[in-house]
Structure 1
């Protein structure tokens, strides 16, 4: 009798059969899931993989506890009363079908706005409208379609499988079996002809077969799974030749003992799996030890202003503690959950939810990390310390990043694929040769070739090189969004600098006032208007002015590239360019000026005397030989004469550029083939930073957080920029040298394998050693670069 399987989950339907829409289901749960998919036009889910789902479990009443507010508060990472975000661990995620359906939850429930899957961590981050839906409904929906979340109220991560522990279990099984098989193989090795060999050899051989079963079907299962999934997706991954070698060894060995032709290769088989797993274990330990990602997050440089005893001082965000009073200026990111104390908050949570409509908050309301204040200055009290991984998640959110070319990743994958094809061809050709010349060696040659020539080392060279340099840059106060930025940085040919706040230092600039004396109330309003802005000129002027009383403005608005305006009681004030305040008699075209009007009456202007950053001339002279250099400024041409003296003669100087003008300038030159690095202050230059191939924001302990930038450079390290770019180019050379070393290793290993001089077990030992040697080489080489940078 032919067995019939469930259309949804693939389980056997012999005990119970439910027919619907000419399809067979094992239970009503699977039929319900299919009905849900059909009603929402999602049946293409089944096109990605046959029987991809799992049968939903009985869940009625199981998640009633998710209706309690205190539990919802604990399980959601964002909850403003209208939008909630929760990250759920889904153990059943296993294939492309899972990713597809979980990222299309909005088609099953229109109140779900987005869902993002992290395949490696088996999590889905769901954003939904909490006014029309609930966390309980989301969890029930997931359970109904066969993706029941694991929920631990203490800690989500406690439910996740410990990969290292699983690997250790498999390694233990393989090691135990390998030791016993080697012991049972001794009589076969010595071939002494004693009675005990002849009398017990069949027992020993079947015992070796028994020991090999858990090794093949448990310890080595990951290799078969990976190879199968790769082949099903049309990809020849690096596990295909390994899995093929294991299958050949097991089948050949089993045939030999069944037909009494010999003892087989069970010692080689179990030893092969043991040493492969041992190599994987050491690779994981090495990678964990280097801990690139954790280090780079811990160095995340955003600063925030802390108010202590009336004194405002910048601190690093990871120094924030519960109960700290924080000052959040216009366009600044809220780094931690907290309570609004003073000021009028209008929070843009688009970084978190993707929705750009600002939300008004009043004193006593809760504010969530990731929101951006958009209407002046507020004060808040922190409810907890900062989670660096959360800030990094916002920075790296795919919603805010463009698809930038990732050449080396593609190159690595391409090489790995071609390697696998070449390995399979060489293995079959060499095996065919030995079958005709010395058939006893054929199986060893076939297996050794499949194992020894492995592109693992090639696949590891790029992530370890770039990852280690990422960590080194972080220590040197150059913070990159991800490792691929290094590759992009190495490919640039044009560098564009903003002027104010980028090549000039806010802390060392000075200004003089020319105009009518401001009244006390006007002075207080001026100071408090500047207090809410993060523009470099605003910060400079704010630091220069005398201390005044802190007041809450009725209205605050910042016009990027133009100026700021405020209202306190019935008094209005504008601060900015001459055209912004409506002053048409400005004659100071040779200086940077900021004009002031109060109640539409012109008051005067501050004239700034810029202080250029230390090492500016030397930096530009180092860069001029390899790059086209441009100063793209929103200020007037007042500093042109000074800049012409400071900078190389070929530097282009372009002034009076609005934020959109800068963006269009970059876009035009990119269309001409230029690869552009843009360096700005992160506020006015957000569009230009996003448009450029690499965007670097200069930080002077100012918390202007924008996903537009690819890197943040501490202002004190500005003069080291040339060295950082040079180090990026050297990293690409290291990767290429790694490819060369791996190529020579594979050629040498291949020679010994093809000529029958290499046993499969020795190949299994050498393969992980080659990977570790590549890791060691790239780490040492990048550490050497780091020492030169220091």
Structure 2
């Protein structure tokens, strides 16, 4: 009787006798999963991999603990009463088909709005409607399709207890086998005759074979699996030459002991796998020790306003927030922590978290979650728990907001690795063919040594280690990049566009004068309360200037981008912004930036801002002008034209009265002409321009306004270091190219000894990880030296 396998999971289906749709299944669980896929038009899941599923286990009653509200609260990342978000650790994630099905959960259940897989961490972040789908049923659904989550009840944490020790186990098996095979090979090495030859030689050879079997089929399985998946996807990855070399060694050695023509190369084979795994473990530990990603996130520079017991306000870093603090959240500001609403009208946009732009109104006493953005004036909140920096950075880098900006350097690395692998295979075949005709005893060693010594691991490591260290270094220098690809984009820019107000001007040093009718105490209090809710640079400067007044909770508040603010309190109505916005016919030419005020439809006057430009602006522009096209795009009038003309280098383009949409279109036009644009703005009015540019940098003055549109955040105090930061990004690319050069030199030298038959495979296995480690050391030292050259 022929053996039949389950169509879903690949297990033996002979005993079950379960057939559906002309397909056999090992259990009703697998059959049910197939039915679900068929009904939802997801059977193409099986095109990705033969029998890709896992056998669902009996889960009835297993997840009853997920009906406990206290446990659910600890597990959830977000819960606004309607939408819930949870990240689950799923050990069974192992291939592209797993990613595909887990990111299409919304087709299995319409109440799941989004699911994003982190393949490296084996987690899936799921957003779902809790009114229609409970957490228990969600977990049951995942289990039913073969992706049972790992949930630890010890501390209500997800996946934290899981430690992957498989590499250590494989290394242990390889090391044990390698040591024993070496001992068993000694008689062959020393050519011990008589007693050895007659009685124990066959037994020792078969023992060496026995020790090698678990090394090849267990310790080395990752190399074979990776190579197979790569070839099946028509990709030549770096594991192909390793797997091919190991397979050839094992096959040839097995043939020799069966035919009794030699002892084979089991010592080289086990040593090869052992040293490869040892190098892999060392690289893994090194990367974990350097911890680039975690380091740079810890410097994330979002500030927030803390209200003290005496009602004074002070800006603090978010990681200084403690439970019980009272915070002021302004219009368009992000809520950095879970908190309770105490005062004000909260209209929260949770699109940072959920991806859905839906405004939620909250009342005093309601719980607000980290990641929400206040959209209607200012509110005061009490903190429930301290901030998690990694969570804020996750919001900043949310896949929902990712824009298809050109990314090419990773592609270059992959392309080099692919071409390199093809070249090495050709060299190995040519060299082996040559030795087969000249000295066949060396042919196998040459073939294997070439494949091992030339493995392009060093090439694959150069970019992530260099970029990772540069991210960390720039973070310490108060220049915070969203991800590593921004470094490469920054190195390619040829045009730099600056906003004026709040970007090249220093808000804290601006002087302000008032012309017009005297404001009453009530009007000044209303003005102060209205400005309090805004994060515009001019609003913040004017708010800091005004005397302390009784802050009132506004009835209505609305901010019009690029125009002004409108608010109401009881029977009082105020407008603050441009002359046209407040209804004033401004016939006189204004030489400076001005903010006009009207109350109850009566024009009151204007606050005139006398700009103080940032320290080192002129020197910075003169340095940048040598290499880049410079542009000032300002929403203000041309009153500062004369001052800027004197201050900035000649041929700097100065464009005024630019609305936010005008800035975006200007960038889009120049990009169509081939320009690589860097946009630097305040992150609020310039959100569209920042998103459109190749690299968008938001200037931060301890303000908790960050946008998914920006690729980097620059501390305002480091504005004059912009050229040095761009220079560092270019130097990072040079370091990677130097790393490639070193790797090629290693390979050329190693290939010479391998091709000429002077290099044993086991020696090649030792040298390969050493070359990779040397590249890591080089990139780390070089980037650290680069970092020291950046002025403080």
Is the pair's TM-score, using the shorter chain for normalization, greater than 0.5?
yes
In structure 2, the residue corresponding to 1:429 is in which secondary structure?
Answer: helix
In structure 2, the residue corresponding to 1:558 is in which secondary structure?
Answer: strand
Question: 2:714 maps to what in 1?
Answer: 713
Question: 2:273 maps to what in 1?
Answer: 273
Question: 1:38 maps to what in 2?
Answer: 38
In structure 2, the residue corresponding to 1:511 is in which secondary structure?
Answer: strand
| C-alpha distance in structure 1 between counterparts of 2:765 and 2:156, whole Å | 39
Matches of residues 290-329 of structure 1 in structure 2 within 5 Å?
290-309=290-309, 310-329=311-330
Question: 2:195 maps to what in 1?
Answer: 195
CA pair 160-754 structure 1, distance change in 2 beyond 3 A: farther
Q: Offset of 1:744 from its aligned partner? A: 1.5
Q: Offset of 1:664 from its aligned partner? A: 0.7
Q: Offset of 1:632 from its aligned partner? A: 0.2
In structure 1, the residue corresponding to 2:327 is in which secondary structure?
Answer: strand
Is 1:88 aligned with 2:88? yes
In structure 2, the residue corresponding to 1:262 is in which secondary structure?
Answer: coil
| C-alpha distance in structure 2 between counterparts of 1:333 and 1:477, whole Å | 20
| C-alpha distance in structure 2 between counterparts of 1:629 and 1:710, whole Å | 19
Question: 1:409 maps to what in 2?
Answer: 410
Q: Offset of 1:155 from its aligned partner? A: 4.8
Question: 1:556 maps to what in 2?
Answer: 557
Matches of residues 129-278 of structure 1 in structure 2 within 5 Å?
129-153=129-153, 154-158=155-159, 161-163=162-164, 165-278=165-278
Judge conservation of contact 1:697–1:709 (CA < 8 Å) in 2. Answer: yes
> Which stretch of structure 1 is more off in the superposition, 658-667 or 202-211?
202-211
Q: Offset of 1:158 from its aligned partner? A: 4.2
Query: Which blocks of at least 5 consecutive residues in structure 2 are unaligned?
Result: none
Matches of residues 105-144 of structure 1 in structure 2 within 5 Å?
105-144=105-144
Q: Offset of 1:533 from its aligned partner? A: 0.4
Question: 2:487 maps to what in 1?
Answer: 486
In structure 1, the residue corresponding to 2:789 is in which secondary structure?
Answer: helix
| C-alpha distance in structure 1 between counterparts of 2:194 and 2:397, whole Å | 69
Question: 2:630 maps to what in 1?
Answer: 629
| C-alpha distance in structure 2 between counterparts of 1:695 and 1:159, whole Å | 36
In structure 1, the residue corresponding to 2:507 is in which secondary structure?
Answer: coil
Matches of residues 452-601 of structure 1 in structure 2 within 5 Å?
452-601=453-602
Question: 1:372 maps to what in 2?
Answer: 373
Judge conservation of contact 1:150–1:159 (CA < 8 Å) in 2. Answer: no
CA deviation map 1:251-284 (0-9, x unaligned):
1111211222111111101110111011111111
Judge conservation of contact 2:151–2:158 (CA < 8 Å) in 1. Answer: no
Matches of residues 656-695 of structure 1 in structure 2 within 5 Å?
656-695=657-696
CA pair 157-81 structure 1, distance change in 2 beyond 3 A: closer
In structure 2, the residue corresponding to 1:789 is in which secondary structure?
Answer: coil
In structure 1, the residue corresponding to 2:142 is in which secondary structure?
Answer: helix
Judge conservation of contact 2:349–2:375 (CA < 8 Å) in 1. Answer: yes
Q: Offset of 1:422 from its aligned partner? A: 1.3
Is 1:11 aligned with 2:16? no
In structure 1, the residue corresponding to 2:15 is in which secondary structure?
Answer: coil
Q: Offset of 1:130 from its aligned partner? A: 1.2
Cα root mean square deviation, aligned: 1.1
Judge conservation of contact 1:306–1:324 (CA < 8 Å) in 2. Answer: yes
Q: Offset of 1:43 from its aligned partner? A: 0.7
| C-alpha distance in structure 2 between counterparts of 1:183 and 1:381, whole Å | 69
CA deviation map 1:291-330 (0-9, x unaligned):
1101111011111111112121111111111111111000
For normalisation by structure 2, the TM-score amounts to: 0.98
In structure 2, the residue corresponding to 1:282 is in which secondary structure?
Answer: helix
Query: Which blocks of at least 5 consecutive residues in structure 1 are unaligned?
Result: none
Is 1:345 aligned with 2:346? yes
In structure 2, the residue corresponding to 1:465 is in which secondary structure?
Answer: helix
| C-alpha distance in structure 2 between counterparts of 1:290 and 1:323, whole Å | 35
Matches of residues 677-756 of structure 1 in structure 2 within 5 Å?
677-756=678-757
Q: Offset of 1:778 from its aligned partner? A: 1.2
CA pair 484-634 structure 1, distance change in 2 beyond 3 A: same
Question: 1:65 maps to what in 2?
Answer: 65
For normalisation by structure 1, the TM-score amounts to: 0.99
Judge conservation of contact 1:350–1:371 (CA < 8 Å) in 2. Answer: yes
In structure 2, the residue corresponding to 1:37 is in which secondary structure?
Answer: helix
| C-alpha distance in structure 2 between counterparts of 1:140 and 1:244, whole Å | 42
Q: Offset of 1:18 from its aligned partner? A: 1.1
> Which stretch of structure 1 is more off in the superposition, 177-186 or 696-705?
177-186
CA deviation map 1:160-214 (0-9, x unaligned):
6424x32222222211211111111111100031424532122221221122122
Judge conservation of contact 1:89–1:156 (CA < 8 Å) in 2. Answer: no
Judge conservation of contact 2:151–2:159 (CA < 8 Å) in 1. Answer: no
| C-alpha distance in structure 2 between counterparts of 1:168 and 1:348, whole Å | 46
Judge conservation of contact 2:71–2:156 (CA < 8 Å) in 1. Answer: no
Judge conservation of contact 2:74–2:157 (CA < 8 Å) in 1. Answer: no
| C-alpha distance in structure 2 between counterparts of 1:161 and 1:7, whole Å | 30
Judge conservation of contact 2:698–2:713 (CA < 8 Å) in 1. Answer: yes
CA deviation map 1:677-727 (0-9, x unaligned):
000000000010000000000001111111110000000000000011111
> Which stretch of structure 1 is more off in the superposition, 372-381 or 426-435?
426-435
| C-alpha distance in structure 2 between counterparts of 1:585 and 1:742, whole Å | 67
Judge conservation of contact 2:8–2:53 (CA < 8 Å) in 1. Answer: yes
Judge conservation of contact 1:89–1:160 (CA < 8 Å) in 2. Answer: no
CA deviation map 1:591-633 (0-9, x unaligned):
1000000111111100000000000000000000111100000
Judge conservation of contact 1:187–1:197 (CA < 8 Å) in 2. Answer: no
Q: Offset of 1:17 from its aligned partner? A: 2.0
